[in-house]
Structures are given as structure tokens and as C-alpha cells.
Amino acid sequence: MSRFGKALASSVGKKIVMGLSGLMLLGFLVEHLHGNLKLIEDPSGAAFDDYVGFLKSFGPLLVLAEIGLGLLFSAHVYLAFRLTLENIQARKQRYVVRNNRGASTVGSVSMFYTGAIILGYLLKHLIDFRLDPRFFDAPHAAVQAKLSQPGHAAVYLLAAIVLGIHLSHGFRSAFQSLGLSHPRWNPLLERLGKFVAFLFAVGFAAFPMYYLFIRER
Amino acid sequence: MSAPSHDAGSGRMRITLKIWRQEGPNRPGKVETHFLPDVSPHMSFLEMLDVLNERLIASGLDTVAFDHDCREGICGACSLVIDGRAHGPEALTTACQLHMRHYSDGDTIHVEPFRANAFPVLKDLMVDRSAFDRIISAGGFVSSPTGSAPDGNAILVPKPDADRAMDAAACIGCGACAAACPNASAMLFVAAKVAHLALLPQGQPERERRALAMVHAMDEEGFGSCTNHFECMAACPKGISVESIARMNRDFALSFLKEAPDLPTGSSVG
Amino acid sequence: MSPTPPQLDSKCPSGPISERWDKHRFELKLINPANRRKFHVLVVGTGLAGASAAASLADLGYRVSVFCIQDSPRRAHSIAAQGGINAAKNYPNDGDSVQRLFYDTVKGGDFRARESNVYRLAQISNQIIDQCVALGVPFAREYGGGLANRSFGGAQVSRTFYARGQTGQQLLLGAYSAMMRQVGSGRIALYARREMLDVVVIDGVARGIVCRNLVTGAYERSAGDAVLLCTGGYGNVFYLSTNAKACNVTAVWRAHKRGAYFANPCFTQIHPTCIPVSGSYQSKLTLMSESLRNDARVWVPKQKGEPRPPHNIPDEDRDYFLERRYPSFGNLVPRDVASRAAKERCDAGFGVGTTGLAVYMDFRDAIRRDGEGAIRQKYGNLFQMYAKITADDPYHVPMRIYPAVHYTMGGLWVDYNLESTVPGLFVLGEANFSDHGANRLGASALMQGLADGFFIVPYTIGGHLAGRKLPAVSPTDKAFEDSERSVRERIDRILSIGGKRTVDSFHRELGKIMWDHCGMARTGSGLAFAKQGIQALRSEFWENSRVPTSSAGLNQNLEHAGRVADFLEFAELMIDDASQRSESCGGHFREESQTDEGEAKRDDERFSYVAAWQHEGVGKESTLHREPLAFEYVRPSQRSYK
């Protein structure tokens, strides 16, 4: 294996890819949330429809971007599985009694599970909209139709919360893995991570809540 | 902590120990229960195990094997997990510095060895940590053959750098970080050495090479990888910060951008 | 058995003292770099001396095998040294020089060390600092980036380099890392968890060792061209000491039985500031750094059985006995003097604590003067350690301290080349007797260990390897077979005793005998009494000790039993040595030899020699050889700290 490949395949290399892909996916989420906010911004749905239309106008470029996004996501998921498996195998004989010292958090110990839930949700989300040919005919109507159903809305709501938990560890952790750390900024980074997690959880939870409670009235 | 309690001699305690017993490597182990009727609060945890062993000998049984040496918290030989925590309940304390006054009459205490695949159990509470030596031999040094050094003051080191290097260099190599890590990762150990030398001018020539070589050696030993739980820092008896890990990650990432340093070949730790 | 050398030849070079080491190095034979890899050196022990020697020899191109008793070479007991390491750099510009460090060391050792060796040590001290800095040891620094120094142990110049309160740890890790680099390169083969149990001597030359693998219980033979013993001191003969639990006399004792003379075994150092014994379960003692005495005042109550807690005792009812007896040095008198003064008060019935075997070390005045913050800054980690062990808060209640065994100046006799009376067997660090005389100065142990390993033995070993015919030997040779058999028989014998008493109880009893009669104060009658006690205890050990036999492999009790068995033999030699030296000097205080004021009184007329003992068999009287000491550069004088 080349030196670069070997370094990439090492435990630290994998964490660097993990952190980098995570932050890039977060960048995607920023844009995604921004676009989705048009649903609430303009209750008529015209703004959202325009936005989807705008994206669609990119044609093959959009597909290319989506492939890139898919690769990023695949890398993130693949490494998550590998790291988790390796880490479980690194201690075959478990402790009879184990207590943490309170450094690990709900977010840190559940990364794999929250990630897996998000992955499952993502598939549903893609089937609901991106892979449904009717979506592009009337994007806003499609969203409204889905999220007005309590069952679907509940899944979206739950996913938003799980995403928040995932980010509550992931954001800060990515910086650590990339070596972006400084005693002066770390406490701030810690708080920023919690804030970002909260923001995205609330942000994405807003849509099912909106359609379920506000829009219905 | 005000009145002198050192003399207090009173308050003998009854302690039940649930201890991991294992005859040898790759043998099945089990938890064995022992009762000590007369534990002094001033005993160290290891002295309590001494008392247990004296009793075991008297009853013709095999003693509980455990690593220990300096018994003052600096050699790093202790490798006990006490009630699920490496080195026990107190922060910044090795098991040998843990005193029984932190327990109460009637307590039950679970004692296990440090657990990680890279730390195979040799017997009872004793594990093989030679993986750490192999990691150091892969790159945890400055290549300065004896006799080749310039005058000590020819290398000036800013005091804050020297202090931070010392913070990282305080690692005693006990392995509590790996034992406490949910992933059995040795990142804090490796990073402490990488950070110590990366903070000093003497460590610069081999800086990237060191980070690469030590990480690869760590991986080969079968430790898990770091997912930033920071349990290592909480368990470290010397309070070494995960700041070191970030520093090492940075050196590692930057090494991607540099010329290829040649990595060393295998070692011969027997 | 090696033939007995006709006479002790220290091989010290002649000429002006400052040129002796240069001259000697020039005269030593060199080995062609290409030939060095043909030689195989066995290094036993990986403390400062062993690790630095192994690294340096491998740097030169020798093949090296290293053996250590711990699970990792990094855990050798050098790691526990706190205070610092001396060097005559004179960075603070306060008048230090090689000459002054030499003078202080000879005087501090109470004129029982070789001048040539000590001078060389002082010369080398500077190189050690350079080497350690280059290896990345994070010494304390000044704001300008230069190395910081402090005054230590009452020295009048600031020549001590330090890394917080963990200098030994940092130096050891430096030497360890240098050694591990060569392990990585394949020049050093490392064998951990091995206990050396015999030196194999062939044709009068040390050519190998036999070890027990502490994990598997297997006996392992190693052949080589030279053997380096770097196995530390024997303080654990007292059971309670500041030494680590694994510290033992076994390696040097077995070498002694193979013909290496043992020098000055009665020279032991008692450190004045240790945490007192708290109960019968006590397994070891913990040192509180000597640096504390810079700001503390040591006292006992003036009244016996004083009921008041210490902080309620007013100054007029306190006896600041060090300040009273030694007005000019006060609390900073040397270790041996401070220790004896504390013992004197406790013996007189003024000791404090439940056992009455402790004195107060009080920071009240320093805290009043400088504030708690300043004291915390200086000693925070030590105060924390004290509080952890005792549950007392030294910021408000004075510490209680008592002297404890800390270091042993005696060891195997070596010449200027650090070679013992068995050719090819070199002894380094605390394991040899060389440089500290009858008392070691603070911050000098680390210096000596590294001097021996980094800068002395790498040269002097060449004299042996180039100067002697070394025919090929193999671990299958008869000498190895015989050695392994004797080692095996001894262990099998221990396993077969099947008595009633635990090994630990024997060790404790031996320790008590030694502490009571061969500790801080010794008398002729007490020593004679102790000798009988040791002999009786040794007989009982071989009849009535009990070691669990369920494990033929890893058996920590068996390891301990082997070491205690050796201590039981060695202790008698220590007593013999203390008996013959009826003077007081340094750490060796014979009550018969004191001034009217109760201070140690040397007798240079009769005792200005190194006592080197030749083994004649267990239970037989050893033969004493005397190496006379000549003082050409430092005139012996009575130490005075009044």
C-alpha cells in the first residue's frame, strides 16, 4: 500500500476522513435547511417550488453533485461501520463491571446508533421525495401531503432529534479529529457544538411540527 | 479534611472483594469472592490485597497476581479496574495511592484487570503491556546518539513550551487510558509522547515521522481507535489532556502534505 | 569459581586529577567499528544506568541484550526520584565548578570515596545534561528559554537541574527512549519480566547469565562477551524503605557468590523526610522531597506526651531541635544529621503520633510569610501527595515525618573501569559502591547512574573486549548447564519447604532486625545480637516458610521468596561490615564513636579504606580486603554544621 493509502487506512487517517466528511455533510445540511425554510417562509409554497425548480435547472450538474454527496455519505457510513466493528473487537473480553467517569456523553456513546437511525431515515426521506417522480411536479404539495400525516411527521420529528444528538458529539469531535484544537477556543467549540446540534434539531423538527399543528389549523 | 485522622486507627471495616481470577493467558476466567473482616481505613488498596494474599497463603491457596512496584504513583505498574473504573474511584490517583478510607464498612468491591485485546491477561489481575514498549520503539524518541549533543543551553526552549511538554511527558505508561476507553484505544498514551516531543525544538526533525510511525505501531497492536469520548482523560492518573490527541491528529494530517519520511521496520521486544 | 585476584587494584590513573580521565581514555584500547557488532553485551536492569548503557553501547555498534524484572523497562525505580540532578554547569554564575562539585561530593561522602572517581563524575556531569536535553527531557526553564537551576540539599550553589518533582521519571524516560530506539533498530534485544539468578563465569571471565522468565517460569541462558549489572540498591533488606517492591539484592548477591567482592555494604542512606509508618500492614514508605526543608521548620513538643493538637501548641512549648542544635544550617543540615536528630528526639520520648515515631515538619511560618498561594505553587503536588496518603491537610496541620531507608551507597566493588573483581562483569549505578562514599548528596544518584551508563562504561568496556581473549561460548556449555542446575535446585528447594510462615513475615522480621540494629545507629553489641538473629531467621526460613506451589509459572510469592532468601544471606554481610567499621562516618553511625555533642566521629587513621568482602560460602565468615583511600586534593576534615 502506498504511504498515503496506509496513512489513510490507519486509525487516525480514518478519523480524519470521518471528521472531514462529517463536516462536509453538515455543510450540505446548512443548505438543505436553508432551502427547506422556504416552506415556512412562504406558506403558499411558491418559494419552495421555485427553489426546487432552480435546483433542477442544473440538470446533469445536480446529478453530479448528488453523486458527490452520495460518495461523501457512503464514506462516512462505511467508516462508521468499520470503526465500530474494530472498536468492539479491540476488547473481546468485556468488563464484568464497567463505569464511566462522566466524560462520555449520550451523544458520544450513541454515535453509531444515531447514525444508523439517520441512515434509515435518509432512505425513507429519499423514497418519500427525491425518488418519487411526483415530487418534482409539485414539490410543496408533496411535502405537505406527507408531513400532514401524523405517522410520517412523527418519523421526521424523531429524525430531527436524533440528528441533534448525533451532532451534539459529532461537531466537536470532528474538530478534535482534524486536530483543530486550542485550549482557548475549545470551551467555545464545545458550546458551539451543542448550539449547532440544537439549531439543526429544532430547525428540522420545525417542518413536521409546522404541518402537523400550525398549517392544519 | 481538617482534624488529624492519621492516628485514628479506629473504624475497622468489613470488605467483600469480587476479584477476577484467571490462571493464564487464553484461559477462562471467573469472579471469585473473598471476605476481609478487618480492613484499616489507612491501608492502601494494594496493602489490602497484600492482606488478602497473606490469608490465601495461610489457607494453602494461590495468591492473587497483580502488578505493582513503586507504590507511590509514578512507575505505572498498577493495572487494576476497581468497580468498573481504571485505578478506582478517585480522580488523579493510581490504584496504589488509593486508600481504603474512601470505602465504608460492608462495601463490596469489584476488581478486574485492565482489559483490551492489546493487553492480554497473564494471570488474574496482571496484564501484558509490552505493546506500549513496541509503540515507543517505533518512534517515541529523539534520535540523538550518545555524545552528539550540543551544550544544554544551546537549545533554548520557551518556558510555556517546556511546561506544556512536561504536562504531556508526565505520562506514566500505565495504560489506564486504553483500559477506560470504550474502544480500547491507546490514543492518549501515543499522543502524550508525540505531543511531548512535538512541543520541544529537539523533537522537530522527526516530528511527522514520529506521529506516523507511532500511530501505525499502535494500530498493529490491535488497539481500537479514538472516537473522542474523552474517558481516557478522566481516567488518567496524571491528568494528561486530550489536547495532546488533537495535536497528534494535526501532525498526522499535516504529514499528508509533506515529503514521504521512511518508516522504521519491525522491532524486537522479546 | 574465578581465581581470587591477588590484590585490589583500583586502576586509577596517576597524574593531575583533572587529566586522569582523558589520559585513561587515551590509554584504553579501541575496537574497530566494524568489529563491534561481533561483541554481544548483556545488560541487566534498565534504570538510568542500564538504559543509558544499553543505548550508548548500541549506538557504538555493539549487539546488546537487555533484561529487566519489571513488565516494562520504563518502570525501573529510577523513575521515582523526585528532586533533581546535579551538574557543574555554573549557569547561575554563582561560583560552581567541576572542582567545587568534586569537593562537595567527597566531603559530603565523609571522605570514604575515591577522589579519581568523584572527579570524573563531576567532569562528566555537564555532558549528561547536554545529552538529556538533546533526548527531549523537559527540564524546567527560565523565561529566556535557558535551563533553570535550584539549590538542593543545603548546597551553597544552585547546580540542580529538575523537571518539576519528577526529575527521575523524565531522565529515565529519556534514557528509555534512547534504548527503545535501538530496540526498534534491532541492535538491542529486550527481555522484560526476567529475573537474573546467576552470572556464568567461564575461565575466570563473566560470559553469561541465567534468568528466570517470570511469566512462564522457564530458565533462560544467555551468553555474551560482557555482563553489565545495573540492578540498583538493596534498601529493601530493611523491608520498609522508599524503594519499589521489586528492588532486591539478588543479582548482585549472586554475582558476589561467583567472585565479585562486595564493598561497604553497611553504607546506607536514611532520608529524613518520609511519611511515617501508620500500621502493621504497611508495605512501603513514601518520601517527601528534601526540597520541603527549604521552607519548613522541624520540631517536637517540649513536653512528653503533649496532649494538645500541634497547631494549638505555642512556640514556647515547641522544640525546634535542628535549629537549636545546628544554628547555622538549621533545618538544612545534611540528610544523615537531620535523620539522627529526629531519631534522638523520638528515642528520648518526644516523638509524636500514635507510634511516637514521628516529628513535625511545619509550614506555618512560611505560609504566614509568603502566603498559602506561594507555598502551593512550590510544593502543591507534594502537599497533595501527603494529603492523599495521610488524609491530613498540611496547609493547616504540620506534616508528620520520620526517617526511612532511601539509598544504599555500598555495592559491588568496582575499579576505575567499573569492572568488578570478576573480569568482564561491570557494575553500574546504585548497584556499585563507587562514588558517594559513606553518604550521598541530594541529586547525585541520577548523575552517577547516567555518568556510568552514558559516558564511562561505553569506553571502559572496550578495554575488556579488546584486551582479553574471549573464546566463543555457547549457552549449551557445561558452565551454563551447571549454573542453571544450581538455580533450579535453589528454587525447587524453596518450593518444597512447605512450612507455616509466609515469606512476607520473614521479610518483615528481617527488616525489623536490620532497622533496629543496623539502621540509623549501630552498636557493637547490637550488631552481634542482630547477626545471631539473622542466622536463626535464615535457618527458620529454610525450614518453615511457605510458598504457594499451585503455579509453576507466574508465581509472585516464589519470586519474593527467592529475594528474601538472598536478603537473609546478604544481611549478615552487612552486619559484619558494620561491625568491623567501629568508626562513625556519613550514614554509618556507631554509637561508640561520637563526639561529646553526639555527632559522628570519623577515625581516618584506622578506617580510611574501602571494605571489600570476598564470599567464602553461606554461613562462613567472609574475607575482608581493604582498598586504602588516599586524599591528595581534598583534605579530610570533620564535618560541622553548627
Please calculate the CA angle C326-C380-B235 and round it to the nearest 5 degrees.
140
Q: Does C396 contact B2 at a Cβ distance shorter than 8 Å?
A: yes
In our burial notation (b when 16+ CB lie closer than 10 A, e otherwise), range C349-379 reads: ebbbbeeebbbbbbbbebbeeeeeeebeebb
Give the CATH number for residue C559: 1.20.58.100
Q: Which domains does chain B have, with CATH numbers?
A: 13-123 (3.10.20.30), 130-255 (1.10.1060.10)
pLDDT digits (tens, 9 = 90+) for C44-70: 999 999 999 999 999 999 999 999 999
pLDDT tens column, C171-189: 999 999 999 999 999 999 9
C191/C265 same-domain check? yes
Residue-wise pLDDT tens digits, C291-330: 899 899 999 999 998 999 999 999 999 999 999 999 988 9
Cβ contact, residue pair C181, B137, below 8 Å: yes
Q: How far is A14 from chain B (nearest CA, A)?
A: 9
Contact C337, C323 (CB under 8 A): no
Chain B contact for A94 (CB, 8 A cutoff)? yes
Interface of A with B in 180-199 (CB under 8 A): 180-181, 183, 186
Q: How many CB contacts within 8 angstroms connect chain B with chain C?
A: 267
What is the per-residue pLDDT across B155-186, written as a single tens digit (0 to 9) for each?
A: 999 999 999 999 999 999 999 999 999 999 99
> Are the CB atoms for C430 and C455 separated by under 8 Å?
no
Specify the 3-state DSSP secondary structure of C419: strand
Q: Band of the pLDDT at C464, cuts 50, 70, 90?
A: very high
B44 and chain C in contact, CB less than 8 A? yes
Minimal C-alpha gap between B183 and chain A (Å): 5
**Cell of residue C238, nine digits:** 530493611
Any residues with CB less than 8 A from the CB of C101 and at least 6 apart, and which?
Answer: C86, C87, C88, C122, C125, C159
Residues C585 and C602: their CA atoms lie apart, in Å, by 5
* Residue C6 belongs to some domain of the structure: no
Element (H, E) at A67: helix A60-89
Q: Which residue has the cell 468485556?
A: A94
Stretch among B5-9, C242-246, C622-626 having the lowest mean pLDDT: B5-9
| Interchain CB distance below 8 Å, B128 and C71 | yes
Q: Do residues C455 and C591 share a domain?
A: no
Which chain B residues have a beta carbon less than 8 Å from that of C77? 69-70, 75
**Touching check for B204 and chain C: CB below 8 Å?**
no
Helix pair B243-255, A150-177: axis angle to 10 deg: 80
pLDDT at C354: 87
Cell readout for B40 is 484499616
Closest Cα in chain B to C80: B74
Our count of domains for chain C comes to 3
C631 within some domain? no
Interface of B with C in 212-251 (CB under 8 A): none
CA distance B96 to chain C (A): 10
Cross-strand partners of C627: C610
C456 plus C592 within the same structural domain: no
> pLDDT tens-digit profile of B250-267?
999 888 777 655 555 444
Residue with cell 522531597: C289
Are B46 and C283 contacting, i.e. CB atoms less than 8 angstroms apart?
Answer: yes
ipTM for the whole predicted complex goes beyond 0.85: yes
Asked if C234 and C362 sit in the same domain, the reply is no
H helix runs in B5-58, sequence order: 45-58
Q: Are residues C443 and C374 in the same domain?
A: no
For A9, C110, C148, C149, C159, the CA distances from C96, given in Å and listed in that order, are 55, 20, 15, 12, 7
**Co-location of C146 and C198 in the same domain:** yes
All residue ranges of chain A with pLDDT < 70 are 1, 216-217
Please write the tens of the pLDDT for every residue from C479-498.
999 999 999 999 999 999 99
The model's confidence at residue B268, banded by pLDDT at 50, 70 and 90, is very low
What is residue B266's predicted lDDT score, i.e. its pLDDT?
42
C29 part of a folded domain:
no
One-letter amino acid identity for B245?
I
Residues C542, C433: one domain?
Answer: no
Using the Cβ of C524 and the Cβ atoms of chain B, whether some distance falls under 8 Å is answered with no
**Closest residue by Cα to residue C480 from C118, C172, C209:** C209
pLDDT at B1: 34
For residue B110, list chain A residues with Cβ-Cβ distance below 8 A.
96-97
pLDDT at C258 over 80: yes
Give the residue from chain A lying closest to B230, CA to CA: A103
CATH number of the domain bearing residue A196? 1.20.1300.10
CATH number, domain with residue C229: 3.50.50.60
Tell me if residue C594 falls in helix, strand or coil: strand
CA-based nearest residue in chain B for residue C242:
B70
Q: Does C422 share its domain with C514?
A: no
B contact test, residue of A11, A76, A114, A178 with most B CBs within 10 A: A11
* Closest chain C CA to residue B140: C177
Looking at chain B, the number of H-run helices and the number of E-run strands are: 8, 7
B174-229 per-position pLDDT tens digit: 999 999 999 999 999 999 999 999 999 999 999 999 999 999 999 999 999 999 99
Q: C19 with C26: CB under 8 angstroms? A: no
Cα separation, B108 vs B106, whole angstroms? 7
CB count within 10 Å of CB A58 equals 12
Average pLDDT score over chain C: 95
Does A102 touch chain B if contact means CB atoms closer than 8 Å? yes
C180 and C238 in a single domain? The answer is yes
pLDDT, tens digit, for every residue of B26-69? 999 999 999 999 999 999 999 999 999 999 999 999 999 999 99
Mutation for testing the B interface, residue in C46, C52, C71, C243 having most B CBs under 10 Å: C71
Residue of B72, B122, B132 for testing the chain C interface, max C β-carbons within 10 Å: B72
Contacts of C93 in chain B (CB under 8 A): none
C334: confidence class by pLDDT, cuts 50, 70, 90: confident
C218 and C123 together in one domain: yes
Whether residue C6 has pLDDT greater than 70? no
DSSP letter at C65 equals: E
Total domains present in chain A: 1
Highest mean pLDDT of the ranges C5-14, C223-232, C381-390: C223-232
pTM of structure: 0.96
Q: Which chains border B (3 or more CB–CB pairs < 8 Å)?
A: A, C
CA distance B113 to B121: 7
Determine the Cα–Cα distance for residues C438 and C112; give it in Å rounded to an integer.
6
**What digits encode the pLDDT tens for the residues A83-140?**
999 999 999 999 999 999 999 999 999 999 999 999 999 999 999 999 998 999 999 9
* Long-range own/partner contacts, residues A45-51 (CB < 8 A, 24 or more apart): A45/A139, A45/A140, A45/A141, A45/A144, A46/A140, A48/A139, A48/A140, A48/A143, A49/A138, A49/A139, A49/A140
- B84, B180, B225 ranked by CB distance to A11: nearest: B225
Domain that holds residue A111: 3-214
Query: Could you tell me which chains touch chain A, where touching means 3 or more CB pairs under 8 A?
Result: B
- Contact call for C80 and B123, based on CB within 8 A: no
Measured between beta carbons, which residues in chain C are less than 8 angstroms from residue B47? Answer: 281-283
Last residue of a domain, one of C406, C430, C458: C406
Tell me which of C467, C485, C503 is where a domain ends: C467
Minimum-distance CB partner of A87 among B29, B224, B248: B224
Q: Do B183 and A90 make contact, defined as CB atoms within 8 angstroms?
A: yes
Domain co-membership, C283 together with C420: no
Q: pLDDT value at position C378? A: 82
d(CA B218, CA B185): 9
Q: What is the DSSP string of C151-202?
A: --TT-SS--EE-STT-HHHHHHHHHHHHHHHHHHHTSEEEE-SEEEEEEEEE
Per-residue pLDDT band at C599 (split at 50, 70, 90): confident
**Within this chain, do residues C74 and C214 fall inside the same structural domain, yes or no?**
yes
pLDDT exceeds cutoff 70 at C43: yes
- Cβ-in-10-Å burial (0-12, 13-18, 19+) of A3 comes to middle
Task: Give the residue among C116, C45, C98 at the shortest CA–CA distance from C415.
Answer: C116
Whether residue C126 is predicted with pLDDT greater than 70 in this model: the reply is yes
* Nearest alpha-carbon partner for C99 in C121, C130, C83: C121
> What's the domain range around C171?
39-270+409-467
- The contacts of residue B75 (CB under 8 Å, 6+ apart) are B69, B172, C70, C75, C77, C79, C80, C244
The 3-state DSSP class for residue C356 equals: coil
